[in-house]
Structure 1
Amino acid sequence: MNKVTVVDHPLVQHKLTLMRDKNRSTKGFRQLLHEIGMLLCYEVTRDLPLEMTEIETPLQTMMAPQIGGKKLVFAPILRAGLGFVDGMLELVPSARVAHIGLYRDPATLTAVEYYFKAPEDVAERLVVIIDPMLATANSAIAAVDRLKERGVTNMRFVCLLAAPEGVAKFHAHHPEVGIWTASIDSHLNDHGYIVPGLGDAGDRMFGTK
């Protein structure tokens, strides 16, 4: 678990509790996902490199820090990962956005790709892959595999909830990719859902349950 960061900030934990409530409305769930995505983004970008630049304040010229290098890329796994994007872009409005379309085959639980679009120079950027749930990890592994095919070497994975089985499987395939999550829950059930979890994040966010 040395490559896993559990974000235990009180605001994150409070909002996660509200989201777990099965009676939370679609609107409320979506708003909370937006807010918690912003807070998780704050944590996953904590160690971005800084460079000094000369600016002029109303009083004098000074050297001040700003984020260095190329703009990072947020890569939501469709469709549930979209719930994080707007909140993260509020913090990092200049970030690029890639889209990775994967769905989980209900019979085999394997990930099937149906769409992929990323910046041409994605290999030169830090890519933050986002998906609310790290359950079986099949989609997360497939997303990293696809990005590696494009030459990406600097990646981080952000999720709302993770299962121990998913964390172990993900790092068995991609041990160098760090995970940021609000909680590591108890286990997966026979249908590949995180327990106690919060249900299907995509269905709850879009009102399709």
Structure 2
Amino acid sequence: MTTTEDAAAPVDARRRLSTTDLALVAAFAALISACAYVGAIPVGGAGVPITLQTFAVMLSGCLLGPVRGFLAVALYLGLGAIGLPVFAEHSAGTGVFAGPSGGYLLSFPLAALLAGLLVKHLAGDRGKTRALVVFGCSLAASVLVVHPLGVAGMKLHFDVTWSQALTYDTPFWIGDLLKTTVVALVAAEVHRAFPQLLRGRR
């Protein structure tokens, strides 16, 4: 083995997910699955149910950071895609991604990634994660990723105008603001107790 390879080996090792990382990813994937069942009340003309999924997705990103948050949500979607009934209303399979809620589902890993990046770099590295900062980061991910992709998914599925698709999305905003508030409060307290969650590489 060359000197270059020797130097690269520790770097590669540090980049691997630890057992704790894997356990956190699996635990938060399970949390998202559980939250998909809570509520599940269809609203608006689209019939897309209100659940606590977005709460768990944003909590994953804000608590675990971008990489582990992304992986937790991706694992959740993978479990649903292979047939486990982990989506809202006990649905499963790849067909769900082509349904009215498909855009929202596909947005979740990206939203967790963005929320994790924002929290990590705006607050985590400074060790001063505050609820207001987390709220802004989580809300930004929701506004920039979740709602646009959700609206796009409903527009394509129902073949309606952008305006009509936006009206389908409107009922979710109040719930998202409430869930974002809870995410901010929980994440801020957890990071005060366990600051290493965001100070590490992920």
TM-score of the two chains, using structure 1 as the length reference = 0.38
TM-score of the two chains, using structure 2 as the length reference = 0.39
Structure with more helix by fraction? 2
Structure with more strand by fraction? 1
